[in-house]
Structure 1
Amino acid sequence: MDYKNLFKRILLLLTKPIQAWKEIKSEGKQEVLTSFVYPLLAISSLSVFLGRLFSSDAEKAYGVFQDALTYCCTIIIALFGGVYLSCFIVEKILSNAFSIEVDRTISLKLIGYSFVLIFLQTIIVGVLPELRLIAYMMQFYAVYILWEGIPLYIKHKEELRLKITLIFFFSIFFAPILIQLVFGKLMNFMN
């Protein structure tokens, strides 16, 4: 994995989204996943695991490790599932509400790269939970990132641009939360 290019891509998405989206346009689905989503998923889960491990106040070592590992697994599943659930939701809503067909490669590009702020939030909050509020406020910048990327990938009427952007944003923001809640309840139920 080329982490130098990964961090360049993150920085470009955050500072010059239009330029980043133009560079991303030629990438395939597997490249999006292997060069961006999976590495950020790994870094996010590692930061959550280490943050939970070192901030835990459990008395026994195995309790601390088990708690950190369980929470890390919940986050991995929430983020990974959130990417695909967001794709599914966006594709269905755009198809049914606006008669706009979006193939999986396009939706995965837009959602996978727009997940950058979710990944950064997870990394920051995993290590420094005190910054939770600031990290959640960062999420609204995803609206701008999506606003700039959607016209390059999806043909639509200009008056639908805001609606489409908000559909993408809300699916990206709430899909991981929904999966984390459901999976967390299942984990508590099974223990």
Structure 2
Amino acid sequence: MISVVDYGVVNLGSMLNMLKKIGADAQIVSTEDEIARAKKILLPGVGAFDQGMAALTRRQLAQPLIRKAQVEKIPVLGVCLGMQMLGHSSEEGRLPGLGLLDAHTARFKFDAGSRSKVPHMGWGTIQPAKSSRLIKGVDDQSRFYFVHSYHVVCHDSADVLATTEYGYDFVSMIQRGNIFGAQFHPEKSHRFGMSLLRAFAEL
């Protein structure tokens, strides 16, 4: 069972529809008690870093999430803003992140003559940095949908699962043990996103 965290700043419809399409058991959770019973957690997110962290803290979900990931070591997957909140901080805000990853989030910065624009929006490929069950079968034809102005910077290169080129190479997926992150939206990435979510469901 995948527990999808609802903290009030994300539309869960497309994610739940995709999980249903691949045959994964999924439920929405929004309380500390529900997270305490979770066996696998998916943390989605859109919008601003401080808005997301404030919502998690206000609903008293931050500490239960940290406990499930660090102590119980259940599989946790952060998506888009959810991945960024796994780190310590973000240039987008002032609040601390969950601190599950030794990383911070930075805004895309390009030279004046660069053709790359912010936000990064559209389809892109990923280049695996190490092997993982989560991206088994991913090749150079696998395309994922991105919408973001900020990206994660890992302080430990061992946490980088995959990178994507947009003006320069940035971290598009992370993994530290049981903790995973994807900067793109698997629920909007058609069969490629389905493959990744199926792999997470089977962990």
TM-score by length of 1: 0.29
* Higher alpha-carbon Rg: 1
TM-score by length of 2: 0.27
The structure with the greater share of residues assigned to helix is: 1
The structure with the greater share of residues assigned to strand is: 2
